[in-house]
Structure 1
Amino acid sequence: MNEPHRTVERVARDSRSRLIAFLAARSHDVAAAEDALADAFQSALETWPRDGVPERPEAWLLTAARRRLIDASRHLRVQVAALPTLLAVADEAQELVAHDLLFPDERLKLLFICAHPAIDAAARTPLMLQAVLGLPAARIASAFLVQPAAMGQRLSRVKNKIRDAGIAFDLPKPADLPARLHAVLEAIYAAYGSGWDDVAGADPRRRGLATEATDLGRLLLQLMPDEPEVQGLLALMLYCESRRDARRGAAGEYVPLSEQDTQRWSQPMIDEAETLLMAASGAGRIGRFQLEAAIQSVHARRSAAGHTDWEAIALFYEGLVRIAPTIGALTGRAAAVGEARGPEAGWALLEAIPAEVVASYQPYWALAAHLLTRMQRMQEAQAARDRAIGLCEDSTMRDFLVRQGASPR
């Protein structure tokens, strides 16, 4: 890959969401901002190999994208009232370039705009994942267990509604923030999860998602410093990030949490997460992300205690499934109970999850294989493992499951 293409890839990974948010916050049209930036990236791929990479690639893309926004509005003769705003965007972009200034980070604003009460609640988090965080519709559809075409149509409709309804592109007043917070937290967490799932690091865009989600968590904490669920989410991500280097062995192979070398965990990240979780607990308002962070806190204590307190984790999962009985929480509870009270107890909880919900949920089948193996039900365990392997998108995880199946019992 040549230098221009590497630069385009880097900017797409590191700055796409900030560019989209900047353009959308000023044009009041998320879809148009996405299209304009896509055109700008395409132009860069055609222009930079010939003319050289500009000194400030993001500024070049911003200038090209705002020009396309203006041209599209003039050509289509739509939203004539928006033209003065777009021209002002052009002037602002030129000012930023001329004075070597950074363009404002509007991502948090756009997240809260996507959580506007006028937008269908079911569409808010998917919209944030695509518009602000850049996940493709197919991946979002998979996460929400719907068909890609249906998710694409849903996202197109909601973007058109934002434009046509004239939804204000301003950060909500402080009193209105809590009502929109849940969807914002869900989007940041889903983005983090998408980046975290790429153990092999094969997808450049997903490789940067975990970092971007953590950055957004810090921005959100600055906006709402006393909100316990914000503290809980950031703590949760930091606990997980503290173990990133330990997830892969010397040859790049996947290393499960129970086998990780705790010396490779980042103690400063764990300490920061502990401080956040303690502050959140002082508010006296328990929530989903605080409980998920508490579970990770117990795992983190293995570095000092030398063992994992699975009974404590199981109890935290009991509280979590009462608040948020997601498929992930139900599967996690079964895993914790299986470790704390025996595989039969874990299997009973796993079997109770409706079959239609888990048909394509890979962690369920990986756990089923583990519990069935412990119960010496080898034929069923292999069938579950084969299904987990078939559903696995990450090559290192797939290789790990294959090795498990090949190991003598």
Structure 2
Amino acid sequence: METHQVIEQTARDAYGRLLSYLAVNWRDLQAVEDAMGDAFLAALETWPRDGIPDKPEAWLVTTARRRLIDRSRRARISESALPTLLAMSEDTQRLISSSTDFPDERLRMMFLCTHPAIDPVMRTPLMLQTVLGIDAARIASAFIIKPSTMSQRLTRAKAKIRAERLTFEMPDPEEIPDRLDPVLEAIYAAYGSGWDEAATADSPRRKLAEEAIYLGKLLLRFAPREPEVYGLLALMLHCEARREARHDQEGNYIPLSEQDCSRWERGLIMEAEGYLNIASQAGTIGRFQLMAAIQSVHAQRLWNGRIEWEAIAQLYEGLIRLNPTLGSLVGRAASVAEAYGAERGIALLEAIPTAEVAGYQPYWALAGHLYKRMHRQEDARSAYSRAIGLSTDVSVRQFLNRQAYEN
């Protein structure tokens, strides 16, 4: 593998872990991000000349730590800061001389982002950028706001952490339930970001879906009695089980209801069902449990050969009562259309305010499908055109284009 490829892969695989390792000991997030950026630039300059170090991650942390020490001395930061960095230097040297990986501090970082002093609206975006390495433009797209606005908000959130020197520690066990929701949301958003490109073997984000599942399992250690953690894991694993079935051998996109379920991974499905069963015993219901239950109904096709659309529609009704997101409203319309007819589905779809759906691809893809079923060809092609324009996956665009012009 070429040097530049090693650096890119290390950035994709380890950036969040390395940044979190440094940041839990040094509360200035912006300074740590800058130091990590300098370390990667130094790698680009020196590794092609001197060779790839035996432990690339340790090299990067050591270089970033030196940048932090240099800046601290130049800025005359209080003397109490330097012993922390020097202690980190000793830890790094121990890690370099052993086979131990760097401690995974990402959950501590994620719970820092749920600190009561941080704007609740910014907690999940802050985790997505600093801990999971997702860029501001992509986060802005997920939250349907301008990239410049998201960047400004993230900068302000980091400045607040620095100014108020917020503590990088796990909350007490009794505090975790109240601070859990944005952590779950960030892991789910990370999974979704990776899932979008999971079928592309060389996608830089393919591994993000796997990392999200890993973080979900790591979270179980800190919140073993929280049913929504089990629900989120069940949801991700049900989706992961179908990764290979999303495209045929030629790379053509295949929607869930048309997938060859013999290509689904039974082991992952059974693992997901196990988590969902544990969640159901808690006696409380939540968003991720309901979303996982919807996927569980789809998974039953592997055994009974059919999709119980009425059951899915009923689950969506419960989901909307708890969490009436745009995705759940569109999902309900789709399931109602399948269970009770396109007319009822399109009525639910058209009831969603137009301003909210302008940039939401699933809405327009479903609208095109339902208009086509109702023989409203002009409306169908117009909706499909909007959906195609909003699709980032080439295979999805090709699928929608075929749907628009096939009878």
TM-score range, shorter chain: over 0.9
1:308 CA displacement: 0.4
In structure 2, how many angstroms separate the alpha carbons of the residues matched to 1:88 and 1:233? 37
Q: Spell out the pairing of 1:80-95 with structure 2 (5 A cutoff).
A: 80-95=79-94
In structure 2, how many angstroms separate the alpha carbons of the residues matched to 1:389 and 1:251? 20
In structure 2, how many angstroms separate the alpha carbons of the residues matched to 1:71 and 1:91? 17
- Contact in 1 for aligned 2:61/2:92 (Cα 8 Å): yes
In structure 2, how many angstroms separate the alpha carbons of the residues matched to 1:74 and 1:337? 64
SS of 1:205's equivalent? Answer: coil
SS of 1:204's equivalent? Answer: coil
**Compared with structure 1, are the counterparts of its residues 199 and 254 closer, same or farther at alpha carbon in structure 2 (3 Å cutoff)?**
farther
**Compared with structure 1, are the counterparts of its residues 194 and 203 closer, same or farther at alpha carbon in structure 2 (3 Å cutoff)?**
farther
Q: Which residue of 2 is the match for residue 294 of structure 1?
A: 293
Q: Which residue of 1 is the match for residue 197 of structure 2?
A: 198
- Equivalent position amino acid for 2:209 in 1: A
SS of 1:103's equivalent? Answer: coil
- Contact in 1 for aligned 2:32/2:68 (Cα 8 Å): yes
1:29 CA displacement: 1.9
SS of 2:25's equivalent? Answer: helix
Q: Which residue of 1 is the match for residue 336 of structure 2?
A: 337
Q: Which residue of 2 is the match for residue 227 of structure 1?
A: 226
- Equivalent position amino acid for 1:160 in 2: A
Q: Which residue of 2 is the match for residue 24 of structure 1?
A: 23
In structure 1, how many angstroms separate the alpha carbons of the residues matched to 2:78 and 2:302? 59
- Contact in 1 for aligned 2:199/2:246 (Cα 8 Å): no
**Compared with structure 1, are the counterparts of its residues 172 and 203 closer, same or farther at alpha carbon in structure 2 (3 Å cutoff)?**
farther
- Contact in 2 for aligned 1:200/1:394 (Cα 8 Å): no
- Contact in 2 for aligned 1:199/1:254 (Cα 8 Å): no
- Equivalent position amino acid for 2:296 in 1: S
Q: Which residue of 2 is the match for residue 240 of structure 1?
A: 239
1:35 CA displacement: 1.4
In structure 1, how many angstroms separate the alpha carbons of the residues matched to 2:265 and 2:339? 26
**1:232-271: CA deviations, max 9, x gaps?**
0000000000000111110112111111111110101100
SS of 1:168's equivalent? Answer: coil
1:50 CA displacement: 1.0
Q: Spell out the pairing of 1:130-209 with structure 2 (5 A cutoff).
A: 130-198=129-197, 200-201=199-200, 204-209=203-208
Q: Which residue of 1 is the match for residue 266 of structure 2?
A: 267
In structure 2, how many angstroms separate the alpha carbons of the residues matched to 1:284 and 1:198? 36
- Equivalent position amino acid for 1:21 in 2: S
Identity %: 59
- Contact in 1 for aligned 2:199/2:243 (Cα 8 Å): no
In structure 1, how many angstroms separate the alpha carbons of the residues matched to 2:34 and 2:239? 34
- Equivalent position amino acid for 2:96 in 1: V
**1:318-361: CA deviations, max 9, x gaps?**
00000000001101111111111111111011011111110000
Q: Spell out the pairing of 1:6-405 with structure 2 (5 A cutoff).
A: 6-78=5-77, 80-198=79-197, 200-201=199-200, 204-405=203-404
In structure 2, how many angstroms separate the alpha carbons of the residues matched to 1:217 and 1:396? 29
Q: So what's the TM-score if we normalise by structure 2?
A: 0.98
1:287 CA displacement: 0.2
- Contact in 2 for aligned 1:20/1:37 (Cα 8 Å): yes
In structure 1, how many angstroms separate the alpha carbons of the residues matched to 2:299 and 2:382? 33
1:51 CA displacement: 1.0
**Compared with structure 1, are the counterparts of its residues 123 and 194 closer, same or farther at alpha carbon in structure 2 (3 Å cutoff)?**
same
- Equivalent position amino acid for 1:113 in 2: L
**1:156-203: CA deviations, max 9, x gaps?**
111111111011111111011111100100110111111111255277
Deviates more, 1:132-141 or 1:218-227: 218-227
In structure 2, how many angstroms separate the alpha carbons of the residues matched to 1:27 and 1:175? 26
Deviates more, 1:227-236 or 1:196-205: 196-205
**Compared with structure 1, are the counterparts of its residues 395 and 200 closer, same or farther at alpha carbon in structure 2 (3 Å cutoff)?**
farther
1:99 CA displacement: 2.5
Compute the RMSD of aligned alpha carbons.
Answer: 1.2
Aligned residues: 407
SS of 2:100's equivalent? Answer: coil
- Equivalent position amino acid for 2:277 in 1: M
- Contact in 2 for aligned 1:28/1:169 (Cα 8 Å): yes
SS of 2:15's equivalent? Answer: helix
In structure 2, how many angstroms separate the alpha carbons of the residues matched to 1:208 and 1:79? 40
